Amino acid sequence: MTAPCSYFITGTDTEVGKTLVSSALLHALAQRGLRSAGMKPVAAGAALRDGVWHNDDADLLAAATNIALPAALTTPYLLREAAAPHIAAALENVAIDIAHIRRCYEQIAAAAEAVVVEGVGGFRVPLSPEFDTADLAQQLGLPVILVVGLRLGCINHALLTADAIAARGLTLAGWVANGIDPAMPHAEANVDALAERLQAPLLGGVPWLAVPSAAAAAVHLDFSCLPGWPAAHAVSP
């Protein structure tokens, strides 16, 4: 089962703003009056607070979700070590199972009208010796949104990621330019170069935000061209 508005968020690398864009997308969906849920299937790096293990990215997605869902569904694999998932999982003797992730996604999709699934790291991050996040995205079959962190090398990283998405038979539904380096020279020229080469619409550019938030990022983004995006009349009063 797939909720009418469901998307897979990937990035050109780790720490490029996937969670910020995912939260902004959830914020925009909620503003349209949809029951919206964020999912971080695999989260590596957790801290113990009040006797419960927390991951910052998973918590931010949960804060942007407007329906009540158990963490065991939205983050089926919460790993303690801040390392590549296959390494963190091995340290905890955990076997990451794509079929289990898919079952969790299907339960979320049954309860929500929109689901935003955030990957981990870039598009080809190993999850086990047998499969990686690209395999997970392919199994879910959702339109993909690419977050490009604007820093030196981002053009190459973005184009290679777009090629990998296409190679899996997935649709690159749009991309976001995220200003992660406020001192990056020629940032606008880099965005122009990507706009000429990526076969997907630019959903907007998020400037470097001193205090990032879902609402602040959403102001700079236009998701209306995404497949399945709700019409304006669906906006809640």
Please name the residue that has the structure tokens 């929500």.
112
- Active-site residues: which are they? 40
Q: Quote the CA–CA distance of 21 and 146 in Å, as a whole number.
A: 10
Q: Give SS3 for 158.
A: helix
Please give the full DSSP string across 122-136, using - where no structure is assigned: STT-BSSSS-BHHHH
| Residue 1 to residue 63: CA distance in whole angstroms | 24
Beta strands in 84-187, from DSSP E residues, in sequence order? 114-118, 144-149, 172-178
From residue 41, give the alpha-carbon distance in Å to each of 53, 77, 101, 201, 221: 15, 6, 6, 26, 24
**What is the C-alpha separation between 190 and 25, in angstroms, rounded?**
23
